[in-house]
Structure 1
Amino acid sequence: MKSLALSAVLLTALAGCASTPTVHTDYDPGTQFSSYHTYTWLKKPEGRSPLVDQRVTAAIDAHLAAKGWRQTSGTDADIGLAANVATQQQQTLDTFYSGPAWGGYGWGRWGGGVGMGSATTTVRTYEVGTLVLDMFDMKTKQAVWRGTASGTVPDSPEAVNAKVQAGVDKMFATFPPGSVPAK
Structure 2
Amino acid sequence: MQRMRRTFLAVAGLVLSMSVMGIAQDVKTNSMPGTDFSKYHTYKWVAIEGASHPDQIVDAQIKQSVDAQMAAKGLTKASGDTADLFVGYQIAVDQEKQWNAYGMGGGLRWGGMANATSSTISVGTLVLDMYDPGTKQLVWTGTATKTLDASSKQDKNQKNLDKAMEKLLKDYPPKA
Tell me the TM-score range normalised by the shorter chain: 0.7 to 0.9
Alpha-carbon distance change, 85 to 40 in structure 1, aligned in 2, over 3 angstroms:
same
Equivalent residue pairs, number = 160
Task: Supply the distance in 2 between the matched residues of 1:5 and 1:53 (Cα, whole angstroms).
Answer: 42
SS of corresponding position for 2:131 = strand
- Three-state SS of the structure 1 residue aligned to 2:140 is strand
Which of the two has higher C-alpha Rg?
1
Equivalent pair of 2:19/2:100 in contact (CA under 8 Å): no
Runs of 4+ aligned residues of structure 1 deviating over 3 Å after TM superposition are: 2-10, 17-20, 92-99, 117-121
In 2: Cα distance, 1:128 partner to 1:81 partner: 23
TM-score (norm 2): 0.74
| Structure 1 residues 4 and 32: alpha-carbon distance in aligned structure 2, compared to 1, 3 A threshold | same
**Structure 2 residue 157 is matched with structure 1 residue 178:** no
Does structure 2 conserve the Cα–Cα contact (< 8 Å) formed by 1:89 and 1:126?
yes
Counterpart among 142, 147, 155 of residue 158 in structure 1:
155
Q: CA deviation at 1:41?
A: 0.9
d(CA) in 2 for partners of 1:118 and 1:20? Answer: 28
User: Helix, strand or coil for the counterpart of 2:126?
Assistant: strand
Residues 111-130 of structure 1: pairs in structure 2 closer than 5 A: 122-130=117-125
Indicate which of 7, 20, 23 corresponds to 1:19. 23
Q: In the superposition, relative to structure 1, how do residues 28 and 8 fare at CA in structure 2: closer, same or farther (>3 Å)?
A: same
Q: Is the 8 A contact 2:29 2:142 kept in 1?
A: yes
Instruction: After TM superposition, give the deviation of residue 61 of structure 1 in Å.
Output: 1.2
Written as runs of structure 1 = structure 2, the 5 A alignment for 1:22-101 is 22-43=26-47, 46-47=53-54, 49-72=55-78, 73-74=80-81, 76-92=82-98
Contact 1:91 1:123 in 2 (8 A): yes
Code of the aligned partner of 1:16: V
Shift of 1:121: 5.2
> Are the structure 2 counterparts of residues 4 and 50 from structure 1 closer, same or farther at C-alpha, using a change threshold of 3 Å?
farther
Q: Which runs of 5+ in 2 are unaligned?
A: 106-111
CA RMSD after TM alignment: 3.2
* 1:159 counterpart SS class: helix
Partner of 1:133: 128
Distance 2:24 2:99 in 1: 21
Using the TM superposition, give the Cα deviation of residue 29 of structure 1 relative to its aligned residue in structure 2, in angstroms: 1.8
User: Distance between the aligned counterparts of 1:59 and 1:164, measured in 2?
Assistant: 7
- Greater helix proportion: 2
Deviations 1:43-90 (Å, cap 9, x if unpaired)? 28822x43332121011112222222222232x211111101111111
**Between the two proteins, what is the percent identity of the paired residues?**
33
